[in-house]
A and B are shown apart, each in its own frame.
Chain A
Amino acid sequence: MAEEVSLRDTYGKTLVELGKKNPDIVVLDADLRPSTMTRYFAQEFPERFFDVGIAEQNMIGIASGLAASGKIPFASTFAVFAPGRCFDQIRISVAQAGLNVKIVSTHAGVTVGEDGASHQALEDLALICSLPGFTVIVPADAIETAQVIEAVAKHVGPCYVRLPRAKLPNINADGYRFSIGKAVTLRPGKDATVIAIGVLVGQALEAAGELAEEGIDCRVVNMSTLKPIDEAAIVKAAKETGAIVTAEEHQEHGGLGSIVARIIAKHHPVPMEFVAVKDVFGMSGKPNELLKKYGLTAKDIIKAVREVLKRKG
């Protein structure tokens, strides 16, 4: 097993690097700097760091005012709180206002672990993808996280980046180049395609490896940009492999699976299976136990691939 790296830690350190290069980068947090890892930026640039206390709605409003004044604000908290707790502020003060606010939320998904359902965001992508103009990105490892943070800092417009609490092995090669809206094929294949995001990308690669042993040639695509989504890569996968499985640490309703299904239905209908949380809340437990409980492991992906192949014409 490759060494596991914290995506949050990478986020925090990347912010410092960006802050050195660009004096307009400012960072906001809502009393979670040791968890979101904005603390590195707070130490390095205290005058450009604003902790608003436990007040996420106010944080988003302040970020929008800073953005309207030419700053590039990164606002961070847990994914249950942004977009969850301040959806209306994000909708009006950021999205409708067309402002250049970067929301980077951590602790998404059941891999939050022991804190349980209240802290496990499983609906954040459905919420944020519903807002016009938002760019939505879910990095799959630390290598990608660093590049995503640099990319959203350069991109003009509202962005949401979703990070897990858990450390993850690096799955991208060192020479990897992320660009917004571009899916990456991590493993070629012709029998079926697994399109995955975040924590589930590693699981998808593991699944594809095992499936190969039984002669099933499974493509794996990392769809790190959920919006604007890489339609061409999805349609290509549908045409070339004829079967799609999506895998995400999110509710089945309104996440990656729903978005991919919409595109498949319109352009090239093929059988699909969905590895996602099935309309229930999470609970306390160890991250790996929870992935297993909610059907989000490599084994579940393998099962889904077998199912989808049964229905493939």
Chain B
Amino acid sequence: MTPSDSKNSSGTSADNLKAGVFSSNEDLEKVARRLRRHIVTMIGRAGSGHPGGSLSAVEITMMLFWKILRHKPSDPQWQDRDRFILSKGHAAPLLYSVLAECGYFPVSELTTLRQIDSRLQGHTDRTIIPGVEMSAGSLGQGLSFAIGVALAGRLNAQDYRVYALLGDGECDEGQTWEATMAAAHFKLDNLTAIVDNNGLQLSGRNSDIMSLEPLNDKFAAFGWHVFDVDGHNLTQLLNALEKAKKVREQPAVIIAHTVKGKGVSFMENNADFHGKAPDAEQLEIALKELA
């Protein structure tokens, strides 16, 4: 794809407003509950998966796909789409639920999670499922990938924006900070990172395993514009995401404070449900709580 090709095939900004660009007026609280039901159901049925970090980032991801991203489910490769890059690849059930609800593939396919020959792999695979930008699963790689996508957009004079969702535990990885340094160096104001700061990682509290705080100060020291929000508060998320678009000459990060396992009482703030599926009884309780 050359810069001239991209202009020819993607058309003018007026075209972007044509039918096909995703929009929805549905009550978002309802959508969030439905996404959570999908997540626990698909993981429960699969018998394995990562509910905790999927549930914590529901509002973040929903607000992006419902309110912020310019995207066309009927044309996942649309050249002017905003890019959503899931770096914490174990939150695949969340992304699959969001993509299915947006119409990238049938909601009925969600039940195939982690089954043999399914497109819904345990961790995301960009080569087989529409709407997934990046193959992930080994942590710390998404922000680097997002920088590449943002640099390409700048080179092509395309105005798409790039959003990368990172886990807080993932910030233990050195590559995350290599990328943090580079994004600021390249002054990537078309890039926004969101950290799902749920405070827990696989084996316990971040503060016990590997301290990340002061996380905001770290990003600021690396040259990022930092927003700090309640990651379950739709208004705060929307405000920060809108403001992040207007930051110039530097990348923006939204540190979203969340609750791991949010929405299911026995999963909330419980590191055991980082990577454990609910059994049949637990699933029933979870679905009642999310009704």
List residues of A whose CB falls within 8 A of some B CB.
23-24, 26, 47-48, 50, 52-53, 55, 57-71, 73, 88-89, 91-93, 96-98
Contacts and interface: CB of A to CB of B under 8 A. Distances in A.
Nearest to B153: A69
Given A24-B2, A53-B181, A69 B148 contact: yes
B1 A64 contact: no
A70 B144 contact: no
A23 B185 CA distance: 23
13 contacts: A53-B185, A57-B174, A57-B178, A61-B143, A61-B144, A61-B175, A61-B179, A65-B150, A68-B126, A69-B153, A91-B138, A97-B127, A98-B127
A93 B152 contact: no
A70 B1 CA distance: 5
B127 A26 contact: no
B218 to A, nearest CB: 16
A107 to B, nearest CB: 21
B3 A68 contact: no
Select the residue from A62, A63, A67 with max chain B CB neighbours within 10 A. A62
Contacts of A71: 148, 152, 155
B105 interface: no
B144 A65 contact: yes
A164 B143 CA distance: 32
Interface residues of B, number: 37
Interface stretch (B55-63, B129-137, B251-259, B264-272): B129-137
A52 B153 contact: no
Contact of B148 (A47, A48, A68): A68
What does DSSP make chain B's interface, helix, strand, loop or mixed? helix
Nearest to A98: B127
Nearest to A91: B138
Given A24-B2, A58-B175, A52 B182 contact: yes
Interface string B138-182: 101111111111111101100000000000000000110011011
B149 A68 contact: yes
B175 A57 contact: yes
Nearest to A65: B148
B125 interface: yes
Contacts of B141: 57, 61, 89, 92-93
B78 interface: no
Contacts of B138: 88, 91-92
Contacts of A88: 138
A61 B87 CA distance: 11
Nearest to A69: B152
Contact of B152 (A52, A57, A70): A70
B145 A64 contact: yes
A63 B145 CA distance: 7
A57 B138 CA distance: 12
Contact of A92 (B6, B135, B181): B135
Given A53-B181, A58-B182, A70-B1, 20 more contacts: A23-B2, A23-B3, A24-B1, A47-B155, A50-B151, A50-B186, A53-B182, A57-B175, A58-B175, A61-B144, A62-B151, A62-B179, A64-B144, A64-B145, A64-B148, A65-B134, A65-B152, A66-B148, A69-B156, A71-B155
